[in-house]
Structures are given as structure tokens and as C-alpha cells.
Amino acid sequence: MPAPDVLVIGGGITGTMAALHLAEAGARVGLVDAGLNAGSSANAGSLHVQMQSRFMRLYPDQVPNVEAALPFYRAAAEEWGRLDALYGPFELSRHGGLMLAEDARQLDFLASKAKREERMGLSVEILDRTALDRIAPWLGPQIVGAELCRDEGKLNPLVANLRLAARLAALGVVQIRDRIETLEPDASGVTAIGRAARHRADRVVVAAAWAAGDLVRALGLALPTRAEPLHMNITEPGAAQIRHLIQHAERSITLKQFGSGQIVIGGGWPAEDRGPDRMPGVLAESLLGNVALAARLVPQIGGLRVIRTWAGMNTTMDGASAIGALPDTSRVILAVPGDAGYTLGPLVGRIAAALVSGAVPVEDAARFSPARFAA
Amino acid sequence: MTDSFRFDGTPVAFGPGASIAAALTAAGHRHLRDTAKGAARGMFCGMGVCQDCLVTVDGVPNQRACMTAAVAGQKVERQAVLVPLETAQAKPATAPARVIAPDVLILGGGAGGLSAAIAARKAGASVVVLDERKVPGGQYFKQAATGAPLDAQQAEGAALLHAARASGAEIVGGVEVWGAFDGLLFLAEWQGTALVARPKTVIVATGAYERPVMVPGWTLPGVMTTGAAQTLWRSYRVLPGQRVAVCGSGPLNLQVALELARGGAEVALVAEAAGSPFGQIGAALRLALAGPSLAAKGLAMRAGLWRRGVAVRHRTRLIRIEPDGDALCATFRGAAGEQSLTVDALCMNAGFEPQNEALRLLGAAMEYDAEVGHLRCRRDAGMRTTVPGLYAVGDCAGLGGAPAAMAEGRIAGCAAAAEAGQGDGYDTFADQRVLARHRRFQHALWKLHDIRPAALEEIPGDTLLCRCEEVPLSEARAALTPEIGHAGSLKRATRIGMGRCQGRYCGAASARLVAEARGTAIDAFSLFAPRVPMKPVSIAVILAAQEALDAGA
């Protein structure tokens, strides 16, 4: 087989979509993945748009970047809508997200957050309890109000991943199982050295999420990617009644109901990082704390049983995405979402693909330039 | 028959100690539930594993009829496929969580666990045994819910249980252990609230569940594991049906066929996959030498079946099951061709799958044994796994039989107590010798039966591989693109193994399917990754456990 024009490193949603767009544009594309299944394949399917209180609390220094990127989050949710129409259905719905407040102080915080988000073009509204009861009549009695962000939604990542992978196969994208550890660009191309083999390509797209930092360090970029192992739970099915993506003004949680009727509970409780070669492990405190919080916010799920928990990886950097060629090496193109990688992935992948093929990107790509991390 | 409850409005009488499933079976109600795809289901495993007998009890949905005691005046209902959330409201935990920290915690009160408890107590250790059943004893000794022992095997179990209680070990029944975490933290459900255990050492003695004969129709109501039928009879004195057939391979099938025949059932056929032992004189002789008394017991069982006119047909396999009014039409294939029988109940056992979830979750090293088609836990002579403080005895560590489990239990109980600072781990030479003999017997025994996993190419495509998510084998095969390199990817692609039984029946078959397609060998990592909870756990119990841990448990 001749060397592909482009080798995409990372088979998660970002790499998948970069590869898909490149192949559709006529490039010969290889997609290499380590196969550990902890990122996109462990995702729980929230489409995040509004600023997550969890993120604001944990990474206050990154909030300005996230806030500036709010239109990008909205555009990313819309990109998912387009993909759903093209390659779906992915059980995608965009009934909006509710961020709940349990007291007046939390509701005040949401009100000021909503004002900032509205300025950035998001469709948000503060709802009191009466208004909430009309659209979500299953909340705990202590909930005083919520911020509704109409841009938010949910989808079934298992279905989306499967259908997009089938599209890749139909496009002739060659899928390779290997863990790439070193990139060696030269005048005529790039050699990606993996544990199993050496792979040669004209250009390389690095869509390796938390592993991207290690890959590009030797190429003069101090990309501060950080693996964030997170915990998730799923219940047995119940009748489909919860349409919104549920979050909390102060505490870490996402809660939503899949098309199967199962409730998925996650939202950023920690899991145990067991290194790059093992899946992250489940912690008892996270399981108990996360599910207990969910049951307090939505008591009606309390009669269902939890049937499975798992851990996946989120990736954080500086709050903004990194998309574009490395300052010193135009043959290596980064495609790393700033946070909420599954939401942003398709749009990030699409922009990276456009940059590789020399097309006009859908977004002004300059503000995502990796140059900000030049060592 | 004194008390009664209502099942969808109809009165159902039951005897003392009966489970809801036993009472419903006795009353002829086999169809307990409908699936998302509209298929009828009933009790299958009879031991809380398959989650197919879920009913709503007094308004609380998703209760296993096989594990829930019948209570006079109870309201039992077939539930909607998707239970409305408002009816599923959290029932608050009945009491605060109980927290225990024994020297030796034993998971499973069967032959191995009870033997371990006695040995550990003798060495001076504090011991708590947790068992799923209200009445412990395990699947081999299968105790009666009430009343006197049925036979010598039940009497031996009753004596062991009595000895374990007399030893001072605390034996807690009705406990569902659902969480095992590093540092030896165990979370369980007990009487509607949480039980939190932080033992010094733990002995896993969780036994095995039964491997089914996967054929079209194996999920129909009235089809059940041989062990489920045995529980109905031995624990509750209920026959699975008036006319029954038994299929698969192994001595349990023969034993249960005889027990049911003695109990008054008409046993239409015992279909054994292996050839007749009388045609395998060498292997039969080795069995007789390794365990003369057990071999004689086996021979007596065959004589008993013969006297009752029960046909035991060798090299005969079940190939499909179809509904036939309220009954089942089961078709078998043997040397004489195909034969269809109409029966009320069909019992199946094609070997065993170890209940090794806790061992796998805690990271104990395993090896795949292709002969029996399941994992064996790596252990030293003291039954220590590769995880500090974690011991494994009996069938949960790989098929070995109850007598071996008892010897292993005595050895592990002694070693675990010593590790917890009690006793000196006295000389276990005698038990090691007994164990070696039982292992020789087991080895010879299984040579006479055929419990190798079924060849996938012989299973028709419309056979359900995953009971819970209703995924047929053909769909799993179609999903096997070159990117599917692990059972876990097949799971994400097809939803195989994502249901309430958590992959207990489809897991091994999925791993074999992927391995065959990829031309790879199965190893300890080929199965679905182990996950918490080990059994579905109610959110109310999670709340109680969280409060206990918050309070510093």
C-alpha cells in the first residue's frame, strides 16, 4: 500500500471526523489508534454549550478562554446536528440543558452567568420553579430554579461512533492499531513511529487528545494536555420522561436519559488514572457521590437500579482548542478540543481537515493556533 | 398451602418459605415479563443472575421473582417494559448502613465458604459470611426453605451450616454484594439498606452459575437451567412442570432428572451431549479409581433413572425450542436422527461459568482454560490469589466441584486467619491430600461429559446470543468488522452484554466469536472488562452506602 497523504493519529471523534472530511475531499487517509477505548468510546453523549460550573470551579484561570469560545461550542452543537442528518440518526436531540440551582445564591450565580452567555450569542433563560415544573416535572423539592440553555442536547455516542466508523470504512480510510510515540518530520513527509510499526505519510493530524502533549513536545510545542479520568454510571431503563441534559450550578453532575430509557449519570467525578496502557479505574467514592447527588436532584430515578459504571478520559488544556500546524513543522497539524472533546470534536476535526487540504476553514482558525504554546 | 398473594389480580397460593417464582411456577404462571421487543420471558437461572424474572412487587418494580420471598397479601404484577419513573420513586433505605470489619470476610455461604468459615474461626479469627440466599448452603447443598432435609446431600449441607453457625462465624443471608474495590472495600445490599465491609482478608467463595444450551427458543418461559429446576424442587418442593426434559452435559443433569422423577414429574428425556460412559471404559475406570464412592453414586443415579424408565440418550443435543400452546416443543438431534417432544419445562446445563466478578474486579490474575471454556484464578497452595489479602476457593476460581471446594475452604480459612494475625496457619497436609484426590476425580469425571463450549458455527443465526438486549448471533456476526478486535468493541457496536445480566451469558460467547474471527487465542483479557456493580443495585442502597462512607465508615 502506498503511504497515505495524511495519517490521522487518534481514532476518537475528532480524528474520525478529520479523517472523514479529508477522505471525502479525495485524500488517501490512514487512521491510527492505540485502541484503549477510554475517550470517545467511553463518552456519555452530552452536547455541552453553556459554561460548566464544574469547569469554572476547577479551572478558573481557563474561564476567559472558554467564555470567548462559547459561540464555538454552539457551532459545534450545530455541527452535530448536521452530522446527525447526514450520517445519523444518532438518537440526537436538542431540547436544551438545565443547570439547576438549590438556593437563591446559586440562582444568582446562574443569572449572572446567563447574562455573560447571552452576550456571546447563546439562547439562555433563567426559569423559576413554576416555569421548571412545566417542562421538567420530576425535580427534587429543593430546586428553586434553573438556567435553560436551548443550544444544548444529547446523543447516543455508541450509535454515532458506529455510524461514523462505517462511513470511514466506506470511504476507504485505512484503520491501523498502534500507539504512536514519536513523530519525525522531514523535507518530504513525516514518519510516525509506533510501538508496532513505523508509518510514513505526507502529513500528520494529531488528534490524540491527552496524549497529544507528549507527541509534540519534541517538536518544540509545550501543549499542556492533561488527562482527566472521569466516572460514569448507567441505570436500567425506565419510561422516557427526561428530555433535557441536567447539570448543577455548583456541583459536578450531568444526567440524561438515552433513547433506550436508561439514565446516564456522569459529569466529572474522578476516576483512577492507571497510566496510558490501562483503562482508568472506578472509585467507590465517585460512584456513591455521583449517583447520590443525581437521586437528590431527580428523585424519580431513585427506584431504578444502576447496572454499570465505567471510567473515561476527558482532556483539558488552557480552555481553548488547539487547531493548526505546528509553528516549526507545517506537516504536523494539531486537532485538540479545549474541553468537552466529544461536543467539540466534529467541528475541530472539520477545521483541521480544511487546514490540511488548504480549503477555507468554517471558522477563523487563527485564534486556535498552536503557536501560543511555542516553547 | 396456607397463604396467598395476587399476581395481576389472580390469587396464588404458596407454601412456607416459597419464593415468588416458586409460587408462580406451582400455579402454572411461567410468563412473567415481556421484553422491549415483545418477547415473553420467565424464570431462567433461578439464582438471581439472569434478571429475566423481574416483576413489580407491592409497587416496587424490577424485583427478581426467584430471589424474593412470597408474602401473604403481596401484590405481584407483570410490569410495563419501561416502568414510569414516578412509580419507580426511591424507597428510602430501611435503616442506616451496617459497617463491618472482620478478620476474614467470606463471600458466599456454600460448600467452600462455610468450610472456610469454620477453619478461620477455629484459628481464632472473627468471621462474617455473606450469602445471597435467605437460607445459605450454596448451590450444591441447596437447603430447603423450611422442613427436614430431603436426602443425605441436604442433610450434609445442614450439618455444615450448623457447624459454621456453631463455630461463632456470623452468617448473614440475603446479602447481595455489588461492589469490590481496591484496598478490600466491599459494598452490599442487605434488607433494603447498605452493608459496608472493610475486612483484613477476604475469601471469595461465590461458586458458579450455569452455562446454557444456546439454541433458538432458549429464552422462552418454561426453559430454565437445571439448577433452577433443582432449586424449585429441593428448596421449595415445587416441580418445574409435570412433563420435563433435561439437556446439556454433566452429572447435575442426571441427578436433577432423578430428583424430579422421584418428586412425581414425568421426565421425558435426558439428553447428554457426551457418549455413554459404558462406551468409554478407560475413562470410566479412571473415575472409579479416583473416587470409588462418588463413582458408585453416579452409577446408582443411572440405575435409578433406568428403574423409573427415564430415557438417557447420549450424543444427543437440543437443537431448538418452539412454543406449543402453554407448553414447549423441544427438538433434539442424536444418532437416531431428530426427535421432538412436548414438555412443560425444559432444563438445561452445559457446564458452569465461575462467578469470578469480585476476583476480576480486584485484579486477581486469571488464566483461560479452553477445556472447560472459562477462566481459572491463579492461586498458591494456600488459595491466595495474586492480590494481597484476597483468597479464592471453589468453583469461582474454576470448575472443581463441591468436595474440592470444601477442602480449599478449610485451607484458605486457615491461611486467611493467619494473615489476619490469628492462628499459625497450621499444617494443611491432610486437606491438601484430600484436595488432590478430589481434583483427580473431577478431571476423570469431566472426561466422561462434554462441557467444551459449543462450536459457534453450529449455532443457528437466529439464536439470541444476548438475552437482555435481544441480539441474535447473526447480528453479532454482521457487526464483526475488521476494527472489532475485542469483545468490548463488539459490545459497543451491538449492545451485546449491556443489559441487566451484565453479560453473564453472552460474554464468553462474544469473546469466542471475536477470537474466531480474528484468529486469536482467548486469554484472561478477552472477556468483557469487569465492572461495578457486580449485580444491579438500587439507588436507595447507594444513598445509604454513601451516607455511611461520608460518616467515616
Q: What is the pLDDT of residues B206-241, one digit of tens each?
A: 999 999 999 999 999 999 999 999 999 999 999 999
Contact state of B185 with A284 under an 8 Å Cβ cutoff? yes
The predicted structure's pLDDT at residue A264: 97
Q: Which residue of A has its CA nearest to B482?
A: A175
Contact state of A162 with B181 under an 8 Å Cβ cutoff? no
Q: Which residue of A has its CA nearest to B536?
A: A307
Taking contacts as CB-CB distances below 8 angstroms, the residues of chain B near A141 are none
Q: Which residue of B has its CA nearest to A289?
A: B546
Taking contacts as CB-CB distances below 8 angstroms, the residues of chain B near A301 are 85, 88, 90, 539
Contact state of A305 with B489 under an 8 Å Cβ cutoff? no
**B246 Cβ contact list (under 8 Å, min separation 6):** B226, B229, B253, B256, B257, B260, B267, B269, B270, B271, B346, B347, B348, B349
Segment B75-86 mean pLDDT:
92
Give dist(CA A264, CA A316) in Å, integer. Answer: 22
Q: At what angle do helices B402-419 and B111-122 cross, to 10 degrees?
A: 30
| CA of B130 vs chain A CAs: smallest distance (Å) | 20
Q: Which residue of A has its CA nearest to B484?
A: A35
| CA of A166 vs chain B CAs: smallest distance (Å) | 9
All three cell numbers of A51, joined, read 459554561
Segment B149-160 mean pLDDT:
94
Taking contacts as CB-CB distances below 8 angstroms, the residues of chain B near A292 are 542-543, 546-547
How many beta-carbon pairs below 8 A join chains A and B? 140
Across chain A, what does the average pLDDT equal? 94
Contact state of A169 with B481 under an 8 Å Cβ cutoff? yes
Q: Is the pLDDT of residue B86 over 60?
A: yes
Pairing of strands B60-64, B54-57: antiparallel
pLDDT tens for residues A11-35? 999 999 999 999 999 999 999 999 8
Please name the member of A239, A242, A292 whose beta carbon is closest to the beta carbon of B546.
A292
Segment A362-374 mean pLDDT:
86
Contact state of B536 with A283 under an 8 Å Cβ cutoff? no
Q: Rounded to 5 degrees, what are φ and ψ at B111?
A: -55, -50
The predicted structure's pLDDT at residue B91: 66
Q: Which of A273-287, A314-328, B191-205 has the lowest mean pLDDT?
A: A273-287
Give dist(CA A287, CA A282) in Å, integer. Answer: 7
Taking contacts as CB-CB distances below 8 angstroms, the residues of chain A near B486 are 35
Per cent of chain A over pLDDT 90 is: 86
Segment B296-302 mean pLDDT:
91
Burial state string for B518-535 with b = 16 or more CB within 10 A and e = fewer than 16: eeeebeeebbbebbbbbb
Please name the member of B82, B91, B539 whose beta carbon is closest to the beta carbon of A261.
B82
Biggest CA-to-CA distance, chain B:
68
Alpha-carbon distance values, A363 to A317, A337, A367 (Å): 20, 14, 9
pLDDT tens for residues A62-87? 899 889 999 999 999 999 999 999 99
| CA of A288 vs chain B CAs: smallest distance (Å) | 5
Taking contacts as CB-CB distances below 8 angstroms, the residues of chain B near A41 are 489, 492
**B502 Cβ contact list (under 8 Å, min separation 6):** A307, A308, B531, B534, B535, B536
Contact state of B533 with A306 under an 8 Å Cβ cutoff? yes
| Probe site for chain A from B50, B483, B500, B547 (most A CB atoms < 10 A) | B483
| CA of A41 vs chain B CAs: smallest distance (Å) | 8
Per cent of chain A over pLDDT 70 is: 98
All three cell numbers of B37, joined, read 421487543
Contact state of A295 with B61 under an 8 Å Cβ cutoff? no
pLDDT tens for residues B481-505? 888 889 999 999 999 999 999 999 9
Q: Is the pLDDT of residue B288 over 80?
A: yes
The predicted structure's pLDDT at residue A1: 55
Contact state of A306 with B543 under an 8 Å Cβ cutoff? no
Please give the single-letter amino acid code of residue A48. H
- Cα separation of the two ends of chain B: 44
Q: Tell me, what DSSP letter sits at residue B90?
A: P
**A134 Cβ contact list (under 8 Å, min separation 6):** none
Segment A304-327 mean pLDDT:
94
CA A290 distance to own-chain centroid: 20
Contact state of B549 with A284 under an 8 Å Cβ cutoff? yes
- At residue A89 the predicted structure's pLDDT band, cuts being 50, 70 and 90, is very high
Q: Which of A186-200, B89-103, B298-312, B325-339 has the lowest mean pLDDT?
A: B89-103
The predicted structure's pLDDT at residue A222: 96
Q: Sort A85 into a burial class: Cβ within 10 Å, 0-12 / 13-18 / 19+.
A: exposed
Contact state of A236 with B500 under an 8 Å Cβ cutoff? yes
Q: Which residue of B has its CA nearest to A31?
A: B483
The predicted structure's pLDDT at residue A137: 93
Taking contacts as CB-CB distances below 8 angstroms, the residues of chain A near B485 are 35, 177
Q: Sort A2 into a burial class: Cβ within 10 Å, 0-12 / 13-18 / 19+.
A: exposed
pLDDT tens for residues B48-73? 999 999 999 998 899 999 999 999 99
The predicted structure's pLDDT at residue B147: 86
Whether the predicted model's global pTM rises above the 0.90 cut = yes
Give dist(CA B6, CA B26) in Å, integer. Answer: 14
Residue A269: CB atoms within 10 A of its CB come to 26
| CA of B274 vs chain A CAs: smallest distance (Å) | 37
| Probe site for chain B from A277, A305, A308, A310 (most B CB atoms < 10 A) | A305
Across chain B, what does the average pLDDT equal? 94
Contact A271, A281 (CB under 8 A): yes
The predicted structure's pLDDT at residue B90: 58
Q: At what angle do helices A157-170 and B487-494 cross, to 10 degrees?
A: 100
Contact state of A303 with B182 under an 8 Å Cβ cutoff? no
The predicted structure's pLDDT at residue B552: 80
CA B134 distance to own-chain centroid: 15
The predicted structure's pLDDT at residue B515: 95
| CA of B531 vs chain A CAs: smallest distance (Å) | 6
- At residue B89 the predicted structure's pLDDT band, cuts being 50, 70 and 90, is low
Taking contacts as CB-CB distances below 8 angstroms, the residues of chain A near B80 are 239
The predicted structure's pLDDT at residue A157: 96
| CA of B220 vs chain A CAs: smallest distance (Å) | 22
Give dist(CA B496, CA B510) in Å, integer. Answer: 8
- At residue A51 the predicted structure's pLDDT band, cuts being 50, 70 and 90, is very high
Taking contacts as CB-CB distances below 8 angstroms, the residues of chain A near B88 are 238, 300-304
Taking contacts as CB-CB distances below 8 angstroms, the residues of chain B near A294 are 539
pLDDT tens for residues A215-269? 999 999 999 999 999 999 999 999 999 999 999 999 999 999 999 999 999 999 9
pLDDT tens for residues B239-283? 999 999 999 999 999 999 999 999 999 999 999 999 998 888 888
ipTM here: 0.95
Please name the member of A41, A283, A292 whose beta carbon is closest to the beta carbon of B542.
A292
Contact state of A238 with B83 under an 8 Å Cβ cutoff? yes
Contact state of A235 with B493 under an 8 Å Cβ cutoff? no
Q: What secondary structure, in 3-state letters, does B329-381 show?
A: EEEEEECCEEEEEEECEEEEECCEEECCHHHHHCCCCEEEECCCCEEEECCCC
Segment B331-346 mean pLDDT:
96
pLDDT tens for residues B430-459? 999 999 999 999 999 999 999 988 889 999
The predicted structure's pLDDT at residue A276: 75
Paired with A235 in beta bridges are A306
